[in-house]
Structure 1
């Protein structure tokens, strides 16, 4: 299998998994109440931190480890190019996790500050969390896989 085809396939898998996990964790944290508190400890904005970190970490580590194994066995081809991402898989995963957490808190905090909201209706809050999980996996997984598959 070519490297780009492998990246596309694994990115689709990562998007589905991270979107479903985002839904499950949203339900575990906020339940199915009528509204979700935006600010404070345990609030919606701060919850983007753990969500972003875990998606960034796991969307890098798991596909990266699988890609490393597939590359070693010769079932996928390396890709050409360069990357600015760390070479080590664990460091790359932690870096992507921190970036995901910072991005999640900053984007949600900025948007909700501008909107002036203290509470969010449940459905829009859930949909925004799903969209964030989807988008973060769609950005991080291919970048992390590409970094892993670059011929060294």
Structure 2
């Protein structure tokens, strides 16, 4: 039985499906939703924007708020509670670095920018990278 599950979420529908799957199939597990901000891009957009903030952690938390609100709504619909945590930087690296603190990772098959060639080139497929490198079992949900 899984007691602690990490569910990385971005703005994608796939990520919401992953959270719903975790909530529905693991009713006794503690679920933590991770949102990573400051993703590298060709123009360094989000990463540069964060670095210009006076308080990077506060800015990251603010950017994660909409994702966490949707996650809490999904949990509330199932009469469940979730924990939330914000990561800064590369999504796959953030997920993999936290893996040892959980029994499993459940994530969506594609993120919000999965069709953009530049995103796939620079960041790679997060789900694929996590499934290959994580130290705990990984479930990928469509």
Greater RCO, 1 or 2 (C-alpha within 8 Å, sep 6+): 1
Q: Which has the higher helix share?
A: 1
TM-score using structure 2 length: 0.29
Structure label with greater radius of gyration? 1
